[in-house]
Amino acid sequence: MDFDRSIFKAYDIRGVVPDQLTVEVAYRIGNSLAGYLKPTSIAVGRDMRSSSEEMFDALTAGIIDRGVDVVDLGMISTDALYFAVGKFGYDGGVMITASHNPGNYNGFKVCRREAVPLSGSEGFNVVAEDVAADSVEKASNRGSIARKDISRDFVSHVLSFIDPTIIKPFSIAIDAGNGMAGLTLPPVFEKLPCKITPLYYEPDGSFPNHMPNPIEAKNLVDLQKAMAAESCDLGVAFDGDADRMFLLDRDGTPLGGDMVTALVADNILARTPDESILYNLICSRAVPELIKRRGGTPVRTRVGHAIIKPLMKKHNAVFGGEHSGHFYFRDNWFADSGLIALLVCLELLSRSDKKLGEILKEIDPYVRSGEINSRVESIEDKIEAVAGDFADGEADRIDGLTVQYSDWWFNLRPSNTEPLLRLNVEADNRDLLDEKVKKLLEIIRT
């Protein structure tokens, strides 16, 4: 079958509907997954995109034609899909979503038993070959589709990570971005005393207000206005499939995912010290420093959930965090959940007499550039040029190029999907940061 193989990414399957991702391709993906996972049942959830229903019909037709049963979870968040697979012992799971992409995109996040993810090198490569070969197989007995409502079980699960009785009546503005958080959050916060100012809770795959991508500052403007109008203690933004969560302190300043990682680690280690916690190499030095101070063991990793989840199991890590807003929990089948991370942060704030900004000042003495992207002709040549100019630092190639000095460090790594180099720099002070960013960009962009 002739199709656009670029829809198979490092961590999911994703493309424009119907230009790249058609119902025919979705059918063949479902049929191939049913063969690759060798399951008796696969749980399937979907987001609110206009194409998600037709993608569900096509994908599940491919699955049941191969004699495998489908458990229809309805419209849910991605972390609820992972929960269902882990909790109810399904042989695999598929979330139909394109996360934070525009409404004309859709795709599939896939996991096997116990919510272990498939990736470009673990499963998607086989599925892509099957689709290309048009190798559809049909069983003599088709599978069935049965509906299951997991909402109550999911609420109980996420609340089990905290003591709900100690949560203070915080005033919180939450922007669901017309994504799945608008469905998953209300039944959770019904159990808590917080005053919620909801923004864009109605699921709408056309995203009439802004794209569900909280990493971009322009998508936080409405949330920041609502926070100021209601004098909120903090703000929260979720992406489209509600697996990533971003915090804003009371003055509307967004926290990086690494600072949320530090906050979650702080609360977890206060209860269970001597645990291992993973963090990816883009995270601030403040993260491993805090973990050590609290008696934990920091473990530095490459970027990406397909990398982190297996390492979580290897180290039996209680928690893992990424700068991108993904947060993983051992008691969540090592899968990620922004909602659980939010609840753990609320518990930390409830146990403390300090405001969020005060806690951050204590744990974070550094300044950072944020991710700076540059389009280049030869990624490898640019990385080697930078490595040569900074050969006096302590370097590693765990993920791209990381070079560390006593008072600053940087990571330069290629995008998984575009001819881009992604630069992150951290330093002890602003002047040093600006100096090093300027020098690095001069090499990268000339």
Residue 52 designated active-site: no
**Three-state secondary structure readout of 306-338:** HHHHHHHHHHCCCEEECCCCCEEEHHHCCCECH
Dihedral in degrees, nearest 10, Cα atoms 359, 362, 216, 375: -160
- Helix or strand holding residue 379 (H, E): helix 379-389
Tokens of 147: 């509906």
- Helix or strand holding residue 380 (H, E): helix 379-389
* Cα 104 to Cα 14, 17, 22, 108, 249, distances in angstroms: 11, 6, 12, 14, 32
Cβ neighbours of 283 (radius 10 Å) = 27
Tokens of 272: 């269970």
Q: Which residues of 349-383 are buried (b: 16+ CB within 10 A; e: fewer)?
A: bbbeeeebeebbeebbebbbbebbebeeeebeebb
- Of these residues, 41, 51, 99, 284, which one is catalytic? 99
Q: Which residues of 56-70 are buried (b: 16+ CB within 10 A; e: fewer)?
A: bebbbbbbbbbebbb
Q: How far is CA 243 from the centre of its chain?
A: 5
Tokens of 269: 């280690």
Q: At what angle do helices 338-351 and 356-363 cross, to 10 degrees?
A: 90
Q: What is the DSSP string of 137-192?
A: ---SS---EEE---HHHHHHHHHTTS-GGG----EEEEE-TTSTHHHHHHHHHTTS
Q: How far is CA 289 from the centre of its chain?
A: 23
Radius of gyration for the chain, computed over Cα atoms and rounded to the nearest angstrom: 22
- Residue among 384, 381, 377 nearest 401 (CA): 384
Dihedral in degrees, nearest 10, Cα atoms 296, 367, 234, 208: -120
- Residues with a known catalytic role: 99
